[in-house]
Each structure stands twice: as C-alpha cells, then as structure tokens.
Amino acid sequence: MQILYGTTNKAKLQAMRNSIEGLDIDIIGLEDIQCELPRINECGKTPLENAEIKAKAYYEALKMPVFSCDSGLYFNEVKDEEQPGIYVRRVNGRELSDDEMIAYYSALARRYGGRITGQYRNAIYFVLDERHCYWSMDKSIATEPFILSAVPHQKRVEGFPLDSLSIEIASGQYYYDLKVTELSSSVDAGIKAFFKGALFEGALREK
C-alpha cells in the first residue's frame, strides 16, 4: 500500500521508512506529489491537534491515504514561558534554520547551567479513507528522556539540528558517538505497532 507522509523533510521521511521496514507499506513524501498542495494553518494547541489538521487537509486535497506527525519538546528545568512545546522550530513567530536552532537551544541550556532534561512527545494522525482515521499520542511513540547540552557535537544531520546537542542519559555520551546498535529504538517500535494496528489488526481508535 502506498501512503503519503505529509512532510517535505527528507530526513524525517527516511526515518519513517526505517521505522516501518518489513511492513507492506510504501511511504512517499510531499515532494513526490506532482500537484498544488494546500496551505495549512497549524493552529492546534497540541501535537495531536496539529497532526490531525495537516493529515485531513492533505487527504481532502489528494484523496489518498495520508498521515502527518507533530511533536512537542518539553524540558524539566525550564520555565513555562520558555518551554518550546509545539513550537520547536518557531521562535518569536519566525522559523529557524538548523544552525539557528542549534544556537538558540545551546543558549537555552546555558541559561540553566549548561544541561537540561528534555523529551519529545510525538503524535501521529492517519487518514486511511473518509470513514477510517487512526491516531496516537501514546508514550510508545515518545522519545526517551535525554540531556540537551549547551555544547554542540561537531556532527550535523540536515533536518535534525537538535540531535547535535542531545546526550543519552544512561551513558552520558552524545547520541552521535553511540553505535547504531546502542541507540534506543522505542519510537521505531511504537510507530511500527501503530501502522500494524491500523492496517492489519484494526486495533486502534478510529472515527
């Protein structure tokens, strides 16, 4: 089955393909669609609301199975007014580049002693057809808590700027210094279980 992932971010697209490897699903991105795409106002107050807004808009425009994701980033030590929440990349109404994000979040960590403890709370909303929609913001698709450092790693991956600041709590090492086999795959497992439940088991919420 071919499913559209409502994103133009190539890194996120590849990460999602890796997550569902082994399932009979072909995931394409917005850049693979040769038509005019709708303008979307992400006005939700939570990651799940924004994922739903995007997925439904793309489905109405393209009439094909589509899912969208959204995330919120939250830090234990940070004041409420400084929490990124759903505005991880948008600061003071402006979308930051990868380099600007690294600079901004490095400064945020520095204000709180050089290290802060964060977690991404992820949401996914999948429109299969007009009668079947599935969604999750379960803990199974949230990341493990991690340390965000004020000192960036030298490595960069386009589309994932904050990975350059992220440190695994258990080992105290930057994620980029860990072997692939040492990295947690809990989000991948949660995403794969989501699609298995929606497409092959009918076990998820729908409306």
Residues 22-37 pLDDT 10s: 999 999 999 999 888 8
CATH number at residue 70: 3.90.950.10
Q: What span, in angstroms and rounded, lies between the C-alpha atoms of 177 and 163?
A: 11
If pLDDT is split at 50, 70 and 90, which confidence band does 202 have?
A: low
| Assigned domain for 89 exists | yes
Q: What span, in angstroms and rounded, lies between the C-alpha atoms of 197 and 201?
A: 5
| Assigned domain for 23 exists | yes
Q: Residue range 158-176: average pLDDT?
A: 94
User: Which residues form the domain of 118?
Assistant: 2-201
Structure tokens at 20: 């569902």
Please report how the helices 10-19 and 186-196 are oriented relative to each other, as an axis angle in degrees rounded to 10: 70
| Assigned domain for 207 exists | no
Q: How many structural domains compose the chain?
A: 1
C-alpha dihedral sign at 30, 195, 202, 56: negative
| Assigned domain for 206 exists | no
| Assigned domain for 53 exists | yes
| Assigned domain for 72 exists | yes
| Assigned domain for 98 exists | yes
| Assigned domain for 176 exists | yes
pLDDT digits (tens, 9 = 90+) for 77-103: 999 999 999 999 999 889 999 999 999
User: What one-letter code names the amino acid at 114?
Assistant: G
